[in-house]
Amino acid sequence: MVKICCIGAGYVGGPTMAMIALKCPSIEVAVVDISVPRINAWNSDQLPIYEPGLDEVVKQCRGKNLFFSTDVEKHVAEADIVFVSVNTPTKTRGLGAGKAADLTYWESAARMIADVSKSDKIVVEKSTVPVKTAEAIEKILSHNSKGINFQILSNPEFLAEGTAIQDLISPDRVLIGGRETPGGQKAIQALKEVYAHWVPEDRILATNLWSAELSKLAANAFLAQRISSVNAMSALCEATGADVYQVSHAVGMDTRIGPKFLNASVGFGGSCFQKDILNLVYICECNGLPEVANYWKQVISMNDYQKNRFVNRVVASMFNTVSGKKIAVLGFAFKKDTGDTRETPAIDVCKGLLGDKACLSIYDPQVNEDQIQRDLSMNKFDWDHPLHLQPMSPTSVKQVSVTWNAYEATKDAHGICILTEWDEFKTLDYQKIYDNMQKPAFVFDGRNVLNAAKLREIGFIVYSIGKPLDP
Ligand code: NAD
């Protein structure tokens, strides 16, 4: 029986390994992590992450061929294939601070693999890492003194949170990069055989190591760039009376462009887009390509601009001040169908409104109060000025309350900001909400999910991103 071990039981390690266990009953999969609470949660009915369909997959396999454990060394030692899916955040200090990927967790995992291995292993980069990381990993692993053969593969993950299970069942492609040596090619073949249990052969793509590593960064940069491009258009639409929905629909009908990922919004978020673009920027700079670095930097600048623009719109619309006004924030996660708040645009928007002394009442169906308060009290890292941190005053945090219901959040509010596109926000009783709000009642739809005409009929003053302003 082939044995797989995955180091890192997070948003990627958990679902990807659960899918391998589901589709490959002949493979034993152990997901290991140094975090005891995380592993306990994976072994309970309350999984540590919310992802539609994940519970069912885990329940079907857990205890049969899928195991979650904190005994990292034991499972690594026993495995034939070791995936490494640890976090690779942006460095916050030292060389490359604010841009470069922090590979501390990766390095410690690699050293541990070198120490405990007693048999040959394929080590798979599942985390998103800078191009050429495999070279560093090879150096670390080569210090294992037992003459063990390690083959490094890059197998970046392209799942999107909120649709992870569907993305894993039917991936656009599975990318496997390896050395162009006989050993490297044999390792690629072994990993291909795992995915071939359910992924059609023509969707499994083999490349060299550096292409695979760089492709993941490139894919995220391209996706984020599309969002920044349409958001840039949204500002121009508002200035000219064009409607961003109509523009992106017309643009997306061009088959060379395509319709996906062209929704204007308050900005992109999530743990990956910004971090991976910063990483790309850093790699460009290190390779003497400042113009290329500047090009990609603009994607992030536009995202910051969009979040600021939204805050300014709220304040300007509400007679140039939100001081002491109650604003209901509906949605805090960075997108629907996830409880993940990493780099969510809601953090910057809320901080911007708090900076003008608004009182916020926040509701998100999957994010609890502790998480929201923690996110809002954390310092934001300024990647352009790494030494300049923007502190969040404790008094601001007191201006925040968190509710478990959209009706409670909006009661007596002066305005509503929609910051996540949760489906339930589309079907709320907006007449009831309007009746219980201060007047004039404002709606700022940062995701363009509500029917603005209907809201206007009720009496709301409505701002939708990139759409003509209230008549
Ligand atoms: P995460 O923070 O949810 O999970 C990482 C886990 O690794 C944590 O539970 C942590 O405790 C564990 N860990 C760290 N060092 C360890 C060690 N030495 N031994 C054992 N466990 C260790 O991160 P994530 O969102 O799953 O992302 C993991 C990687 O995948 C990142 O590189 C990320 O960029 C990439 N990625 C993420 C997504 C996504 O949507 N979240 C998608 C594609 C790729």
Which tens digit of pLDDT belongs to each residue from 152-211? Answer: 999 999 999 999 999 999 999 999 999 999 999 999 999 999 999 999 999 999 999 999
Tell me if 86 CB under 6 Å of ligand 1. Answer: yes
Residue 396 confidence class, pLDDT cut points 50, 70, 90: low
Per cent of the chain over pLDDT 90 is: 93
Query: Are residues 375 and 273 located together in one domain of the fold?
Result: yes
φ/ψ of 194, rounded to 5, equals -65, -55
Whether the pLDDT of residue 382 is over 50: the answer is: no
173 is an annotated ligand-binding site residue: no
Q: What is the pLDDT of residues 83-100, one digit of tens each?
A: 999 999 999 999 999 999
- At 380 the pLDDT is 55
Query: Are residues 247 and 362 located together in one domain of the fold?
Result: yes
Residue 213, domain member (yes or no): no
For the question of an ipTM over 0.95, the answer is yes
Query: Are residues 320 and 391 located together in one domain of the fold?
Result: yes
Query: Are residues 263 and 141 located together in one domain of the fold?
Result: no
- Total length of the chain: 471
Query: Are residues 181 and 309 located together in one domain of the fold?
Result: no
Range from 134-148, 295-309, 389-403 carrying the lowest mean pLDDT: 389-403
> Considering only CA atoms, which of 62, 75, 88 is closest in space to residue 33?
75
The CA-atom distances, in angstroms, between 331 and each of 72, 339, 342, 344, 351 are: 36, 10, 13, 10, 15
CA of 82 to the centre of ligand 1 (A): 14
Residue 205, domain member (yes or no): no
Query: Are residues 143 and 242 located together in one domain of the fold?
Result: no
Tell me if 10 CB under 6 Å of ligand 1. Answer: yes
How far is it, in rounded angstroms, from Cα 147 to Cα 442?
Answer: 68
Residue 210, domain member (yes or no): no
Of 33, 47, 91, the one to substitute when testing ligand 1's pocket (max ligand atoms within 8 A of C-beta) is 33
- Mean pLDDT score of the chain, rounded to an integer? 94
Residue 296, domain member (yes or no): yes
User: Which one has a higher pLDDT value, 464 or 395?
Assistant: 464
- At 134 the pLDDT is 97
3-state SS class at 315 = helix
Cβ neighbours of residue 249 under 8 Å, at least 6 residues apart?
A: 259
How far is it, in rounded angstroms, from Cα 118 to Cα 145?
Answer: 10
Q: Which two tokens stand for residue 464?
A: 């939708």
Residue 143 confidence class, pLDDT cut points 50, 70, 90: confident
Whether the pLDDT of residue 379 is over 70: the answer is: no
How far is it, in rounded angstroms, from Cα 178 to Cα 185?
Answer: 7
Per cent of the chain over pLDDT 70 is: 95
Cβ neighbours of residue 198 under 8 Å, at least 6 residues apart?
A: 23, 169
Residue 471, domain member (yes or no): no
To which residue do tokens 């290329």 refer? 292
Of 5, 7, 11, the one to substitute when testing ligand 1's pocket (max ligand atoms within 8 A of C-beta) is 11
9 is an annotated ligand-binding site residue: yes
How far is it, in rounded angstroms, from Cα 170 to Cα 392?
Answer: 42
Tell me if 157 CB under 6 Å of ligand 1. Answer: yes
Query: Are residues 226 and 326 located together in one domain of the fold?
Result: yes
| HSE-CB of 199 using CA atoms within 13 angstroms | 24
Whether the pLDDT of residue 385 is over 70: the answer is: no
- At 369 the pLDDT is 94
> Considering only CA atoms, which of 341, 163, 345 is closest in space to residue 268?
345
90 is an annotated ligand-binding site residue: yes
Residue 468 confidence class, pLDDT cut points 50, 70, 90: confident
The DSSP line for 86-119 is ----B--SSTTTTTSB--HHHHHHHHHHHHH--S
Which residue's CA is the nearest one to ligand 1's atom 4?
Answer: 10
Range from 21-30, 56-65, 389-398, 438-447 carrying the lowest mean pLDDT: 389-398
Q: Is 128 left (phi over 0), alpha (psi -120 to 50) or beta?
A: beta
The CA-atom distances, in angstroms, between 410 and each of 235, 326, 327, 441 are: 27, 8, 8, 10
Beta bridge partners of 66: 29, 62
Query: Are residues 430 and 328 located together in one domain of the fold?
Result: yes
Residue 454, domain member (yes or no): yes
- At 393 the pLDDT is 52
Q: What is the pLDDT of residues 2-54, one digit of tens each?
A: 999 999 999 999 999 999 999 999 999 999 999 999 999 999 999 999 999 99
Tell me if 9 CB under 6 Å of ligand 1. Answer: yes
Residue 66 confidence class, pLDDT cut points 50, 70, 90: very high
Closest atom, ligand 1, to C-alpha of 12: 26
Query: Are residues 154 and 36 located together in one domain of the fold?
Result: yes
Q: Which of 5, 272, 284, 359 is catalytic?
A: 272
Tell me if 184 CB under 6 Å of ligand 1. Answer: no
Q: Tally Cβ neighbours within 10 Å of residue 459.
A: 14
> Considering only CA atoms, which of 85, 108, 103, 77 is closest in space to residue 19?
85
Q: What is the pLDDT of residues 313-359, one digit of tens each?
A: 999 999 999 999 999 999 999 999 999 999 999 999 999 999 999 99
State which residues form the domain around 112: 2-199
270 is an annotated ligand-binding site residue: no
Query: Are residues 260 and 328 located together in one domain of the fold?
Result: yes
Tell me if 33 CB under 6 Å of ligand 1. Answer: yes
Tell me if 108 CB under 6 Å of ligand 1. Answer: yes
Query: Are residues 163 and 238 located together in one domain of the fold?
Result: no
> Considering only CA atoms, which of 237, 261, 272 is closest in space to residue 464?
237
Which residue's CA is the nearest one to ligand 1's atom 28?
Answer: 87
The DSSP line for 254-274 is STTT-STT----S---SSSHH
- At 273 the pLDDT is 97
Tell me if 38 CB under 6 Å of ligand 1. Answer: yes
How many domains, in total, are found in the chain? 2
Q: What is the pLDDT of residues 403-416, one digit of tens each?
A: 999 999 999 999 99
Q: Across the chain, how many H-helices and E-strands are there?
A: 18, 14
Cβ neighbours of residue 239 under 8 Å, at least 6 residues apart?
A: none
- Look up the CATH number of the domain holding residue 400: 3.40.50.720
Residue 214, domain member (yes or no): no
- Which of the 8 DSSP states describes residue 334? S
Whether the pLDDT of residue 388 is over 60: the answer is: no
Query: Are residues 234 and 188 located together in one domain of the fold?
Result: no
Q: Which two tokens stand for residue 211?
A: 């292409």
CA of 111 to the centre of ligand 1 (A): 17
Residue 208, domain member (yes or no): no
Judge whether 272 counts as a catalytic residue.
yes
CA of 9 to the centre of ligand 1 (A): 7
